[in-house]
A = this chain, B = another copy of it.
Amino acid sequence: MPQFLNANAPDFESRFAALLGAKREDSPDVDAVVADIIADVRARGDAAVIELTAKFDRLELTPDTLRFSDADIDAFCAEVNDEDRAALELAAERIRAYHARQMPEDALWTEETGAMLGWRWTPVSAAGLYVPGGLASYPSSVLMNAIPAKVAGVERLAIVVPTPDGVANPLVLLAARLAGVDEVYRIGGAQAVAALAYGTDTIAPVDKITGPGNAFVAAAKRRVFGKVGIDMIAGPSEILVIADKDNNPDWIALDLLSQAEHDESAQSILITDDEDFGQAVAQAVDKRLETLERRDIAGVSWRDYGAVITVPDLKTAADLSNRVAPEHLELCVADPDALAEDITHAGAIFLGQYTPEAIGDYVGGPNHVLPTARSARFSSGLSVMDFIKRTTLSKMTPEALRAIGPAAETLAISESLEAHGLSVRARLDGLNK
């Protein structure tokens, strides 16, 4: 049974605060192990990567087989059936079209003094993408990480994907090919992150690493951060659905379950202005849980972290949602566009009853890598912005330097940075000669 809360109840504030504050994940402390693995890969390169892959993935590799050859990838791609291929192609095309619109423009302008100011965007030269192996090896995640990188103009994009016992997922390799990935390696874990960050004889180092992974991968990404850029460390994810009574309870139940089936620590919350509708959805969830393949996982998530909250009006629903700052937010109400105006913190908004969150996971176009665990308060989903960086530009004329240089000198002196001031003063004196 999920929690049932009512915004008008006297104990609501304390119960809602408890819901917000619930710690849903205890990551094991693997930092010491990961530090050793990274040091080993830095010291011994390919040899360390190969030994660790034999140990953890039960797979014997050589420097020549660390990387999937083009022929390997061809063969795997040929295994994919036409329906899956067409679906992946549609997804890739739509994700590419959406992200192409995200490329920001350069700017350059001239002030009255003749001074020129502006900025320029340039891509990261080389990026690495971690793709989990085994059960959580999702081809959709390959598309969602790789396509923004390629749209951004990343020249060299490498994937690492562990293949325990040598088993690879053909759809992952097809997704890599559709996304234009340049190199795919049969390695995973902290050793793969270390190889991408520091390089080996076989694997050239990259500048940025993105993609989800287990506790070892997350700890490794934290450790190499600074040497390379990383994306956010993903936490347990969540969906919040705001729905009025004019919805099919079964549809809403399935949306809640599509989050819950990911992970026992996922969280699904329904906020409704109709208490009976909330009860109907909870019943629909129970009914679907009887037959769902992943009912064990989804059942635990719904029981431990699920919640149905009744509110007096939709404005209150939006206010509560902003306090949650959910990764995914569905607005299943008569006028979702109007309600969206009240939303200040959310990773992605799905408007109206015909936009189940699963559309966004695969084919909608927006990215499905989104800020989890309330971090939508301060961060955004993955985008082309993660693979480009801005260089600011300034060019003073003599006239401009005369106009603003003295203020720079004054401030430098006030901060006791004499050479700063002199670098301006020497030029001003030179101009006045």
Contacts and interface: CB of A to CB of B under 8 A. Distances in A.
Contacts of A2: none
A140 B171 contact: no
A258 interface: yes
A17 interface: no
A84 to B, nearest CB: 5
A293 interface: yes
A349 B398 contact: no
Nearest to A347: B391
A394 interface: yes
A406 B251 CA distance: 16
A43 interface: no
Interface residues of A, number: 122
Contact of A354 (B101, B358, B397): B397
Interface string A141-167: 000000000000000000000000000
A415 B344 contact: no
A75 interface: no
A423 interface: yes
A137 to B, nearest CB: 9
A148 to B, nearest CB: 12
Interface stretch (A59-67, A114-122, A306-314): A114-122
B367 A391 contact: no
Interface in A57-111: 83-84, 86-88, 90-91, 94, 98, 101-102, 104, 107, 109
A344 B122 contact: yes
A427 B362 contact: no
Interface in A413-433: 414-424, 426-427, 430
16 contacts: A90-B407, A135-B416, A140-B411, A226-B233, A226-B373, A229-B379, A251-B423, A258-B417, A345-B389, A350-B395, A359-B405, A363-B411, A367-B392, A377-B389, A379-B389, A380-B389
Interface of A: 83-84, 86-88, 90-91, 94, 98, 101-102, 104, 107, 109, 116-117, 119-120, 122, 124-125, 135, 138-140, 171, 207-208, 226, 228-229, 233, 235, 248, 250-251, 254-255, 257-258, 260-262, 288, 292-294, 298, 336-337, 340, 343-367, 370-371, 373, 375-381, 383, 385, 389-398, 400-401, 404-408, 410-412, 414-424, 426-427, 430
Counting from the closest, the 5 A-B pairs by CB-CB distance are: A229-B378, A366-B392, A351-B395, A254-B423, A87-B407
Given A117-B366, A354-B397, 9 more contacts: A102-B119, A229-B379, A294-B418, A348-B392, A349-B391, A354-B401, A362-B411, A366-B393, A371-B389
